[in-house]
Chains A and B, each alone.
Chain A
């Protein structure tokens, strides 16, 4: 499926998603936070899109918000799509888990929880993945301070 077809079909299904016109490698689809599970479910299960494989899940710490990024691919059609979700609450960011749709998400969400402190609602086993269990803070946040190990220039 080409990007143009994707834009038409997604706009048709979900009128409130935002698809900016930009020249990037993948087609970016900005989804409202509350709709992410519904959108992902539809994209995964519909025969036309069938995005049944998540090959990346990550997060970006922007000055005003966090942004979740999901890279999806269809193992049948070969097309790819990127979902992006804005998390406005910088103090206590939360989002619905996708690990019941994509098993990949389970470990990736644990990693994002570990390093960014995003809470994934309904995640079956949300604990730290890389760092020790007694670690304090989330080191990939821009406001993370570690005066002993990090020498700031």
Chain B
């Protein structure tokens, strides 16, 4: 009797989920993935969205001295429909939370989130004694990169953007959605 057979007895319900091999992993798909990731990572369009003092550092990051356009992030959009990166720069209060959620929902896929500063990460200085502050923006929307600081320096935000680019470059956009549902018909 093999090891597997002793572990899973015949007739017992299979404990996992069957994942078809799919046609992922072939050379063409990985190369297309690389191309898509490269273009996405180097052309992040951030949303012009900021709620408190981190905004000043974010604006400094965009201004000439630090100049985030060196990383392909310069096209700050005033409309969520055109943006694919939201930098939560500042405190999110309970009244702002539904607005933030709506902005995130309005953004087209693929979309990325950077939580900038202590308030966006955990509520920061308002963690203990506040009736109005959300204790971390990740209670409202999913966050890709956390940038600590109060507020973080522009260098820290740039590092956060570079980390996000690293993350995007490791993603698999073609396999990301519908890999199992669309297995039969091919991609």
> In the complex the two chains form, is B128's CB within 8 Å of A153's CB?
yes
Stretch at the interface among A26-34, A116-124, A144-152: A144-152
B60 to chain A minimum Cβ distance, whole angstroms, is: 29
Instruction: Specify the chain B residue showing the minimal Cβ separation from A146.
Output: B131
Q: Are A150 and B127 in contact (CB under 8 A)?
A: no
Counting CB contacts under 8 A, is B23 at the interface? no
- The secondary-structure label for the interface of chain B is loop
> Is B52 interfacial (CB 8 A cutoff)?
no
How long is the Cα–Cα vector from A152 to B95 in the complex, in angstroms? 22
Q: Does A132 contact B (CB under 8 A)?
A: yes
Partner of A139, one of B128, B132, B135: B132
B130 in contact (CB, < 8 A): yes
A152 to B128 alpha-carbon distance, docked (Å): 7
* Contact indicator A150/B129 (Cβ below 8 Å): yes
Say whether chain A's binding surface is mostly helix, strand, loop, or mixed: loop
Do the beta carbons of A151 and B131 come within 8 Å of each other?
A: no
- Min CB distance A29 to B, Å, is 33
Number of A-B contacts (CB under 8 A): 23
* Interfacial chain A residues near B130, Cβ < 8 Å: 149-150
Chain B neighbourhood of A153, CB < 8 A? 128
Seen from chain B, the residues whose Cβ lies within 8 Å of a Cβ on chain A are: 95, 127-133, 135
Name the A residues within 8 Å of B131 (CB-CB).
139, 144, 146, 149-150
Within 8 Å by CB of B128, from A131, A132, A151, lies A151
Could you tell me the distance in whole angstroms from the C-beta of A147 to the nearest C-beta in chain B?
A: 11
**Chain A nearest CB: distance from B15 CB in Å?**
38
Contact B127 A151 (CB under 8 A): yes
Q: How many A residues, CB 8 Å from partner?
A: 11
Q: List 14 A-B contacts (CB under 8 A).
A: A130-B95, A131-B132, A132-B95, A139-B132, A146-B131, A149-B131, A149-B132, A149-B133, A149-B135, A150-B128, A150-B131, A151-B129, A152-B128, A152-B129
A129 to chain B, nearest CB (A): 12
Query: Which A96-126 residues sit within 8 Å CB-CB of chain B?
Result: none
Smallest CB-CB separation from B93: which chain A residue?
A130
Inside 8 A of B132's CB, which chain A residues have their CB?
A: 131, 139, 149
| Top 3 A-B pairs, shortest CB-CB distance | A139-B131, A151-B128, A146-B131
A130-B95, A131-B132, A149-B132 given. 6 additional CB < 8 A pairs? A132-B95, A139-B131, A139-B132, A149-B131, A151-B129, A152-B129
CA distance A152 to B131 in the complex (A): 12
Q: What chain A residues lie within 8 Å of B127 (beta carbons)?
A: 151
- How many angstroms between the C-alpha atoms of A115 and B54 in the bound complex? 26
Complex CA gap A150/B129 in Å reads: 5
Complex: A153 Cα to B131 Cα, angstroms: 15
Q: Please give the distance in Å from A82's CB to the nearest CB on chain B.
A: 28
Chain A residues whose C-beta falls within 8 Å of the C-beta of B129 in the assembled complex = 150-152
Considering the chains assembled together, what is the distance between the CA atoms of A146 and B129 in angstroms?
10
Most buried by A among B127, B132, B133, B135: B132
